[in-house]
Amino acid sequence: MSVQPPVDATLARSFGLSAEEYAKVLDILGRPPSLTELGVFSVMWSEHCSYKSSRVFLKQLPTKAPWVIHGPGENAGVVEIGHGLAAVFKVESHNHPSFIEPYQGAATGVGGILRDVFTMGARPIANLNALRFGNPALPVTKRVVDGVVRGIGGYGNCVGVPTVGGEVNFHPAYNGNPLVNAMTVGIAAVDRIFLSAAAGVGNPVVYVGSKTGRDGIHGATMASAEFGKDAEEKRPTVQVGDPFTEKLLIEACLELMATDAIVAIQDMGAAGLTSSSVEMAGKGGVGIDLDLDSVPQRETGMSAYEMMLSESQERMLMVLRPDREDVARAIFEKWELDFAVIGRITDTGRIVVRHLGQVQADIPLAPLADQAPLYHRPTVDAPKPAVLNAARVEDRVGLASALETLLGCPDLCSRAWIWDQYDATVGGQTVKRPGAADAAIVKIEGQAMALALTIDCTPRYCAADAEAGGRQAVAEAWRNLTATGARPLAVTDNMNFGNPEKPEVMGQFAAAIRGMASACEALNFPVVSGNVSLYNETEGRAILPTPVIGGLGVIDDAAQAVGIALRPWLDLVVIGASRGWLGQSLWLREIGGREDGAPPPVDLPAERAAGDFVRAQIAAGAVRACHDVSDGGLLVAVAEMAMAGGTGVRLSTGPRDIPGHAYWFGEDQGRYVLAVAESAALIRAAEAAGIPAVRIGTSGGAGLTLPDGGTISVATLRAAHERFFPEWMGS
Amino acid sequence: MKAGIVLFPGINRERDMAIALERTSGHAPRMVWHTETDLAGLDLLVLPGGFSYGDYLRCGAMAAQSPVMRAVRDHAARGGYVLGVCNGFQILTEAGLLPGALLRNAGLRFISADCHLRVERADTVFAARYQRGAVFRAPMAHGDGNYFADEETLDRLEDEGLVAFRYATPAGKVLPEANRNGSARNIAGIYAPNLRVLGLMPHPEDLVDPLMGGEDGKPLFEALAAA
């Protein structure tokens, strides 16, 4: 930088620090900060790094269970899965960068979440993603979808971690603010989990991976503000991904982790060298001295400020045992990655940054963490919408036409165009690929067991009633795992909301957390990791509240996992109560042209009972196929099973007291469609357990025979289902 | 047959390949680092899939210059067996061990989906457990699998019977709609003239277990294990 601006409250404001926050900085230091120090404070106290608006609410989430090894607070959550192994997983957003530069924004989102997982000693075995885009009619949406999908594929395919699941929705509320949430799952030995707390005065602090450049400076601050019309101008704050280096970094780190060299390790994610060094030393209760002259640099003439704030990708920071430095260096040389000792652990409790012979920053770590801003932001609860009376909603089109329309609409159509661009089989352990089951099934190499993985949220429910929607998101994830036969274990959450300084947005956040907490509690499904993304607004318009839930379960015998594909001559039984709930349903929006009513409530005890029953039936080997009932209701669920298996279904008449369209397209929660050889035994067992169970049809033939007399061939359904994406994207 | 898997930086399907080889032969393959030059004792060298050197240059171009490739060439020249899958196929063409090149997929997008392959000849060590004309399924996962060679080379490959597999419909028809990456003459895999070097784009190694959706790829590895 040629001319340095004066470091004062005005500059602090432009760095995202409020007047009160800047006053606190002055108080902590007892003097005005240097430019580098101001940079450190501003990123550490950004919403993205400090969770200053959300922390008070996040505390309400249940985080404990006997199988939880590490809950929130580490790089990722860790749960025990048996046989001495642990699953390590987390979801993280890269929303803002993905709008500014879709390919790199999404790609580096995948890279970042991979590092959060392998930094704990886990080999990544699966990626998932949750995506939200704006109105498909807008050209910008097409461009963003294309870039995001290419970016996720470009990174994930190259590092060789299969992308096995995900979800996509469209809504105009995401026009200027798409969501890209990426989730990674890894496997580690229970007794070989690596943490980030630094220890050992005098121990070397080692930098490995890519060189540091000027990319992504102040990315964390950018991710903590709304977009105005100048969003495009923020492109230089987006980082550029290098999946090849990431692949080498994974292999080198895992090779080093097999030795006893590492004391602590953390990836350089948001706020790069600043957050990794501050958090490692802070958590360990030690101090850290950094010598920036030793940092591998991609460009010349970088200042201390730039190096501390750079978000160059594919970098890790480690504290090593001093006598193991050579072992570590040899491994990184083998993988042709930079390896540099850039500092030492001290007992000062301070971070001291030197560059070109000068101290550029000297900050006490305890107050930097302890006095980080914490806001109890005002909340306003939105009025709850009235329950829609389904009997007053006329059906003008009939079942067959509505089904064809729904199966072809952007929110329900086949995602094959997307997942065909993601390598789903690399690793050779993918038991159920995208679309084959309600959750992806990935086997643990060398074991009989497999993980079940899903990621879910229904934002239109959350927009209508954030508490009900938060509860539903957790329940749906739990249901999707259950539908494969897996035992749900834990959750990672990605809270995507608007500007927290607006009471109505904070009210949505608080309500969603209440709903999620109630479901996690009732389903014994704790939250072990997560991410908060606020300020998802463009020109003052917020996105729909989108609390994305990543769910992980385990199935002891991978061969027992059940998919959704129907075979001929099976009975179809719906488990759970159907009441014809049309409020906030896709039928109401796509066919009725309305987006109103209360969303379908989740009855948690009934949810638990139905799920436990279904899981037991699958474990007993009684179930040939299983699909939860979600978007589009019962008829869409049956159609999806028919299309997956290539067989038709003859459906029975529904109950007389519910209008046909409400029964077949209503989105009552807590339901599953099971395909079994003979329904009588299943229904008896369900009744004995007090769980509603109704036979709704028999598979076979070439089409769906509908209860109102209409028929529609599976080929026609597939054509309708598969049309949208290829036509839209022109391929 | 004693097998070795050649590891280039950025390769990512070496585990899949090792599992397939071990499952069918009962022996774990030797892992060969790209700087090694002594391959004595190995009968089969496998170049697995992935993104060697990130494929930041032409796919496979960097790996083809590795020290180990001199040894791979010597091995092939001595009549040793070589199997290159996906990036491995690309590396073999870049190294001149097989003719032609793999271009960007016709649709310019990465394709991860099952395809069907028609076995063009079964009288080779690789295809001995298939029937000629049989069709088997295999996952493909590549952005650059569009096989290209000039007409003269393609005619020679056909005349000399060096086309190993073609993209086909499940019923075995070699049609354009079965050829998603746009390969010349639906070619999915080719042999060197001595029939001991095979390159192919799809991944038979990912379909050797009913749990993962089938065993269509297993005969290829069983044949190698038995040879």
Instruction: Answer left, alpha or beta for residue A301, where phi above 0 means left and psi between -120 and 50 means alpha.
Output: left
| A232 has a chain B CB within 8 A of its CB | no
Rounded to 10°, the helix A139-159/A714-729 angle is 100
Furthest CA-CA distance within chain A: 85
The residues in B 66-105 lying below 8 A from A, measured between CB atoms, are none
Residues pairing with A529 in the sheet: A492
Catalytic residues of A, by residue number, are 48, 94
Computed over every residue of chain A, the mean pLDDT equals: 95
Closest CA to B145 of B96, B217, B89: B89
**What is the per-residue DSSP string for B160-201?**
TT-EEEEEE-TTS---GGG-TT--GGGEEEEE-TTS-EEEES
| pLDDT tier at A539, thresholds 50, 70, 90 | confident
Closest CA to A106 of A149, A164, A165, A160: A149
Q: Using one digit for the tens of pLDDT, what is the confidence trace for A197-255?
A: 999 999 999 999 999 998 877 665 655 666 665 665 555 667 889 999 999 999 999 99
How many C-beta neighbours within 10 Å does residue A541 have? Answer: 14
Contacts of B112 in chain A (CB under 8 A): 157, 419-425
Checking if the pLDDT of A355 tops 50, the result is yes
Q: Which of B112, B139, B209 sits opposite A422 (nearest CB)?
A: B112
Contacts of A243 in chain B (CB under 8 A): 51, 54
Give, in degrees to the nearest 5, the angle at Cα A594 between A592 and A600: 95
Q: Using one digit for the tens of pLDDT, what is the confidence trace for B154-181?
A: 999 999 999 999 999 999 999 999 999 9
CA distances A24 to A38, A43, A80, A105, B138, Å, are: 12, 15, 42, 33, 62
Give, in degrees to the nearest 5, the angle at Cα A31 between A25 and A37: 55
Checking if the pLDDT of A302 tops 80, the result is yes
Q: What is the pLDDT of residue A2?
A: 43
Q: Which of A422, A426, A558 sits opposite B12 (nearest CB)?
A: A426
Q: What is the pLDDT of residue B208?
A: 97
Q: What is the pLDDT of residue A724?
A: 98
Residues 6+ apart with CB under 8 A from A161: A114, A124, A125, A126, A127, A184, A426, A427
| pLDDT tier at A72, thresholds 50, 70, 90 | very high
Q: Which of B54, B111, B203 sits opposite A425 (nearest CB)?
A: B203
Q: How far apart are CA A306 and CA A290, in angstroms?
A: 14
Contacts of A441 in chain B (CB under 8 A): none
Checking if the pLDDT of A269 tops 90, the result is no
Strand B163-168 and strand B111-119: pairing? antiparallel
Checking if the pLDDT of A295 tops 90, the result is yes
Q: What is the pLDDT of residue A709?
A: 85
Tell me which amino acid residue A386 is.
A
Rounded to 10°, the helix A139-159/A102-118 angle is 30
Q: Which residue has the tokens 């096995």?
A: A164
Q: How far apart are CA A426 and CA B217, in angstroms?
A: 15
Q: How close B156 gets to chain A, by Cα (Å)?
A: 33
- Asked if this assembly's ipTM is beyond 0.95, the reply is yes
